[in-house]
Amino acid sequence: MGDFITSERGPGAPGLHVSNVRLSVLFNVLAVAVMPRARTDWELRLARWVVEGDQCRLGLGMVGFDVSELGWSESEDVFATQKRFLLELVDAALNREGWEHLPSIPGAVEERLFPLLRQLREMVEQFPREGLTPPPEYRWPEGPPENGLCELHRVYLHETGCLLCNDASYDEPAPHRSP
């Protein structure tokens, strides 16, 4: 089981098949990195999209995505700013930003997370502005996060909880575990 991260319109970019565990860790590291950075409407929607990529919310094997689905602007300037933000976000994850809020990542998972982040970075970098299509409504948020923050993990909450609380084992504190 697992899911795909793709960039079907990117030049020659192969889709990545990613295990559920690695996908979950990917969304976790992006969630802690995006929280302090997101300012504009699109950045905040991206932050919400990240925390909504919780397999406890969408289901296992349901959080794969294509790079084209991220609500890109057709304006050349705005598109360039969006791309720069996303690249900075992936770089922040590569620099372990916000990891003090994360449960420890097993060495074997971490080892495979970094190549995945670098591949994602490459896909974003190569993503072309030409031929943009509207993002899928079921996945791209209509607005910024509106459920507050997890006081323990410092990430935005989605409508039923916190993607990190949902990952925690039952003997750890998890104030926002989804019902």
| Strand 3-6 versus strand 16-18 pairing type | antiparallel
Show the tokens assigned to 69: 């689905």
For residue 66, report the phi and psi dihedrals to the nearest 5 degrees: -110, 140
Least spacing, CB of residue 64 vs Zn ion, in Å: 23
Least distance to Zn ion from the beta carbon of 152, Å?
Answer: 5
Q: Which of 48, 53, 162, 167 binds Zn ion (CB under 5 A)?
A: 162
How far apart are CB 155 and Zn ion at their closest, in Å?
Answer: 6
Least Å from the CB of residue 35 to Zn ion: 11
Q: Does 165 engage in binding with Zn ion (CB under 5 A)?
A: yes
Q: Does 164 bind Zn ion (CB under 5 A)?
A: yes
By CB under 5 A, name the one of 153, 156, 158, 167 that touches Zn ion.
Answer: 153
Candidate ranges 44-52, 73-81, 136-144, 149-157; the one touching Zn ion (CB under 5 A): 149-157
Closest CB 167 distance from Zn ion, rounded Å = 9
Sequence-ordered list of residues with C-beta below 8 angstroms from that of 2, at least 6 positions apart, any chain? 17, 18, 19, 20, 22, 23, 61
Pairwise CA distance, residues 11 & 126, whole Å: 7
Nearest to 34 by CA among 81, 111, 88, 104: 88
Which residue among 86, 150, 158, 167 contacts Zn ion (CB under 5 A)? 150
Considering all CA atoms of the chain, what is the largest pairwise distance in Å, rounded to the nearest integer?
Answer: 49
List residues binding Zn ion (CB under 5 A): 150, 152-153, 162, 164-165, 176
